[in-house]
Chains A and B, each alone.
Chain A
Amino acid sequence: MKFLTEYRNLEATQQVIRQIEKAITRPWKIMEICGGQTHSLVRNGLLELLPEEVQMIHGPGCPVCVTPMQLIDQAVELMEKGVILCSFGDMVRVPGSTISLLEAKARGGELRILYSPLEAVRIARENPGREVVFFAVGFETTAPANALSVLQAEKEGLSNYSLLVSHVLVPPAMEGILDDPFCAIDAFLGAGHVCAIMGYREYHPIAAKYQIPIVVTGFEPLDLVQGIHRAVVQLEKGEYRVENQYARAVSEAGNLQAQKVIHQVFEIADRQWRGIGTIPRSGYALREAYRPFDASHKFGLAEETNTESGECMAGDILKGLKKPHQCPHFGKKCTPRTPMGAPMVSSEGACAAYYHFAPNP
Chain B
Amino acid sequence: MDSQTPMSSSIQLAHGSGGLMTRELLDQIIFSTFKNPFLEQKHDGAIVPLKGPVVISTDSFVVSPIFFAGGNIGDLAINGTVNDVAMCGGVPEFISLGFIIEEGLDTSDFVKIVQTIKAAAEEAGVLIVTGDTKVVESGKGDKIFINTTGIGSPHPRAHISMDRIRPGDQLLVSGPIAAHGMAILSQREGLQFESEIRSDTTCLNHLVSDLLDEFGDQVHLLRDPTRGGISSVCSEIAQDSALGVLLRETALPLDPQVAAACEMLGLDPLYVANEGIFCAIVDAEAAPKILERMKSHPKGGRAALIGEIRSEYPGKVVMESAVGGSRIVTPLIGEQLPRIC
Contact = CB atoms under 8 A, between A and B. Distances in A.
B323 interface: yes
Interface in B289-327: 313, 318, 320-327
Contacts of A29: none
B266 interface: yes
A14 B324 contact: yes
A101 B122 CA distance: 45
A49 B333 contact: no
Nearest to B324: A10
A221 B328 CA distance: 17
Nearest to A13: B323
Interface string B239-259: 000000000000000001001
A221 to B, nearest CB: 4
The residue among A13, A43, A102, A358 with the most chain B CB atoms within 10 A of its own CB is A43
Contacts, number: 67
Nearest to A353: B327
B325 A45 contact: yes
Contacts of B20: none
Contacts of A10: 322-324
Contact of B325 (A48, A115, A222, A336): A48
Nearest to B254: A1
B327 A357 contact: yes
A43 B334 contact: no
Contacts of B330: 336, 355-356
Nearest to A358: B328
B324 A356 contact: no
B260 interface: yes
Contacts of A335: 333
B333 A337 contact: yes
Contact of B327 (A1, A43, A115, A337): A43
A45 B321 contact: yes
Interface in A334-361: 335-337, 347, 355-359
A221 B324 CA distance: 10
Given A1-B259, A1-B260, A115-B189, A46 B325 contact: yes
Given A1-B256, A93-B334, A337-B333, A14 B323 contact: yes
B265 interface: yes
A291 interface: no
A188 B66 CA distance: 49
Interface in A7-27: 8-10, 13-14
Interface in A299-343: 335-337
Contacts of B334: 93, 102, 336-337
A44 B321 contact: yes
A49 B189 contact: no
A359 B259 contact: no
Contacts of A269: none
A49 B260 CA distance: 27
Given A115-B265, A359-B318, A42 B324 contact: no
A8 B322 contact: yes
Contact of A8 (B256, B323, B327, B328): B323
B284 to A, nearest CB: 24
B265 A49 contact: no
A45 B324 contact: yes
Contacts of B189: 115
A289 interface: no
B280 to A, nearest CB: 26
Nearest to B320: A45
A45 B323 contact: yes
B263 interface: yes
Contacts of B259: 1
A358 B318 CA distance: 10
Contacts of B266: 347
Contacts of B265: 115
Contact of B326 (A8, A9, A93, A359): A359
A102 B335 CA distance: 11
Given A45-B323, A45-B325, 9 more contacts: A44-B322, A44-B325, A48-B325, A49-B323, A221-B321, A336-B333, A357-B327, A358-B328, A359-B326
Interface of B: 189, 256, 259-260, 263, 265-266, 313, 318, 320-328, 330, 333-334
6 contacts: A8-B323, A43-B327, A44-B325, A45-B321, A45-B325, A336-B330
Interface of A: 1, 4, 8-10, 13-14, 42-49, 93, 102, 115, 221-222, 335-337, 347, 355-359
9 tightest CB-CB pairs across the interface, nearest first?
Answer: A45-B325, A357-B327, A13-B323, A221-B323, A44-B321, A336-B333, A45-B326, A45-B321, A8-B322
